[in-house]
Amino acid sequence: MPLHADLHRHLGGAVAPRIFWRYLHRHNHPLAAQFPDYEEFERFLVRPRGSLTEFLELHTLVEGVQRLQNLPYFVTKLVRGAYVFESIVYLELRYSPWYRTEENLPEAERIAQMREVVRIIAQAASQTEYPVLLRQILCMHSRLPLHINRAVLELAVQEPDLVCGIDLAGPDTLYAPRLKEFAELFQRARQMQIKTTCHLFETANGFYPELLPCLNRIGHGIQIAMHCPQLLPQIADRGQCLEVCPTSYLKTGTLTELTALRGVFQRCDEAGVDIVICTDNPGLHNVRLPFEYENLLTQDVIDFSQLKRCQSAAYRHAFAWPHADPPDALLQSLVQL
């Protein structure tokens, strides 16, 4: 019975390495020649990188393959895997629609094509055999100019049934000179009733408290609890949660061990800030959601009662979960019958 919700997962990081490798070889993609051997490909994907910026080069590689015409191939498989292997019933999948359009088209046509990308993903995600409720988060990107990011936001406004929120992704080293611009985009989103999250306080370069008041949720935010705990009471007052993606911090060189997260969970508990545990890139990391939970438990970062609270928090903070209760409440009522 599917039970879990994942609120932070990238399309570019969600496809299992073997499915990605098989696609390259079945379609004679130029990358196939570079990786004739699967094991070597997997090692290349999952090895830790020195920084977030270096890790994001992997997303660029995947985005170069995942384009409009083959999105159904990848989305159908990632939804099937989420349902069968991760017991996921609710998934918010995020990506930058601009980077899924055809590169050779004029800019105006690429902007128009972003809407087609959203619809193709929604259609591919809807499978009666694997009934995951999937909604999309559209990522603005720190490498994209203002008018493209604005078009991403307008697209979210136009597709409220398919898109549940917007995000800001890309290297956080590029945020600083554009903070005012990004804050205005998020404020406009809030005015248009669009939910917001942002990759923030993930690395030592991502300290931008100016953006916090514009957000419904905080993408990562672990550095707040580690280095700026004085901000936690305001975060609790705003009802924001942290989307914590444990394996990511090891892969981007942000942390050397998961036990460093113990204090993050403790301080958030004390301050009344919810944490939701997410995968970020289960394919690129080769770590699925149940193993994110299990790793935190076996390394004594959290206990079972904390896990339960985080799992319930995922449904409370979901942008588009349509029920009053998480699905385990329904299960409990069945047990009592």
The contact set with Zn ion (CB under 5 A) reads 280
Nearer to Zn ion, 156 or 271 (CB): 156
Q: Whole-angstrom Cα distance, residue 140 to residue 219?
A: 13
Q: How many CB atoms lie within 10 A of CB 46?
A: 17
Nearer to Zn ion, 148 or 169 (CB): 169
CB of 74 to Zn ion, least distance (A): 17
Write the CA distances from 86 to 79, 95, 285, integer angstroms: 10, 20, 15
CB of 95 to Zn ion, least distance (A): 10
Number of residue whose CB is nearest Zn ion: 280
Instruction: Show Cβ contacts of residue 177 under 8 Å, excluding neighbours closer than 6 positions.
Output: none
By three-state DSSP, how is residue 217 classified? strand
Place of tokens 């307008």: 154
Question: Are the CB atoms for 252 and 230 separated by under 8 Å?
Answer: no
- Nearest 10 degrees: Cα torsion 29, 61, 48, 81: -70
Q: Return phi, psi of residue 301, to 5°.
A: -75, -40
Nearer to Zn ion, 280 or 292 (CB): 280
CB of 239 to Zn ion, least distance (A): 21
Nearer to Zn ion, 274 or 280 (CB): 280
CB of 203 to Zn ion, least distance (A): 12
CB of 199 to Zn ion, least distance (A): 6
Closest CA to 141 of 180, 174, 119, 107: 174
Question: Are the CB atoms for 200 and 219 separated by under 8 Å?
Answer: yes
Nearer to Zn ion, 118 or 244 (CB): 244
CB of 12 to Zn ion, least distance (A): 10
Question: Are the CB atoms for 202 and 220 separated by under 8 Å?
Answer: yes
Nearer to Zn ion, 6 or 280 (CB): 280
